[in-house]
Amino acid sequence: MTMPLSDALRASFEARAPLIARLAAEQTDAYRLFHGSVEGLPGLTVDRYGDLLLVQTFHRPLETDELSALEAFYAEALPGLPLIWNDRSKSNSRVLNPLTSEQQIIAETPREFSELGVRYQFQARHAGQDPWLFLDLRAGRRRVMQEIAGKSLLNVFAYTCGVGIAAAAAGARHVVNVDFAESSLAVGKDNAKLNALPIRVRFIKSDAFAALRQYAGIGQPKVVRGKRMPPFPELAPQQFDMVFLDPPRYARSPFGVVDLINDYPALFKPALLATAEGGTLVCCNNVAQVDREAWLAQLQRSASKAGRTVQDVEWIAPEADFPSPDGKPPLKMVMLRV
């Protein structure tokens, strides 16, 4: 660091003051307070989720004096909000640092927070590693809410279904969330219950490839190259006004391989075919090393091969609590009119 941690925390907090005021006016009390990769300490993040502060470390654990500086600064800047530190610097990004018994109770207590007037559940510690809502995706959820009234949405790799819940709250006529993890969908169902949604949202436990191929009309065989596929829900072909695609960097299953660096088109094609003519496909890529223009060109070529034309392109940038001095944030979100 080129400056003491407390000074870096203060500079980031002061820089966010206008944003925090705007978010509060929009009924949002969840945002990134410190983005260490560009604000002074790579690998350190500080996020507010309602009435709790979540500190995460990814490159190395905090030193004792660093943790003390964090606790002292936020006790003054945001009094009354407990601070929980999750050290994820070991292999597989698993949370391993012990907490006191009092901190453990705080960390495992279910809480609620608000984003753009939509309520979500949060726990600082749970069976998984990642927080239940990714804050850098707020810009994407905001854009979906602006577009979705009266339309249908397919939310793939839905995780805890934040995009789908936001869409339903904003007036979508039909919302389907697809994820392979029952535990993530369970949080999504709880999120739905927190909000007086005007429609009944669907939650489908399925491999993304199996669901997308069926919705796209390609179909998912039950036997591939002589091997029986794991069970999957049977879905009728259906096209949606909007498809939101937010895959992980890499994942392998019997149905296919998710590879955001080398083979995004494997997912893109069935997602495109599940998007209605004149509809919108929102694609996300969270790999920093992927150049956004090269990625976009790849998507456009893939669309052309599938017989569809990209009519319009709109980039969605993460909001000001995720600063990017070079204008190239790791999370790339692009809205394609197809």
Give the pLDDT confidence score for residue 3 in this predicted structure. 79
Asked if the model's pLDDT at residue 1 lies above 70, the reply is no
Domains of the chain, with CATH numbers?
5-110 (3.30.750.80), 135-337 (3.40.50.150)
Full-model pTM = 0.96
Q: How does pLDDT run across 10-22, given as a tens digit for each residue?
A: 999 999 999 999 9
Give the pLDDT confidence score for residue 13 in this predicted structure. 98
Q: How does pLDDT run across 40-81, given as a tens digit for each residue?
A: 899 999 999 999 999 999 999 999 999 999 999 999 999 999
Give the pLDDT confidence score for residue 96 in this predicted structure. 86
| Mean of all residue pLDDT scores within the chain | 96
User: pLDDT tier at 101 (50, 70, 90 boundaries)?
Assistant: very high
Asked if the model's pLDDT at residue 269 lies above 80, the reply is yes
Q: How does pLDDT run across 134-147, given as a tens digit for each residue?
A: 999 999 999 999 99
Q: Which residues contact 297 (CB under 8 A, 6 or more apart)?
A: none
User: pLDDT tier at 325 (50, 70, 90 boundaries)?
Assistant: confident
Contact 155, 175 (CB under 8 A): yes
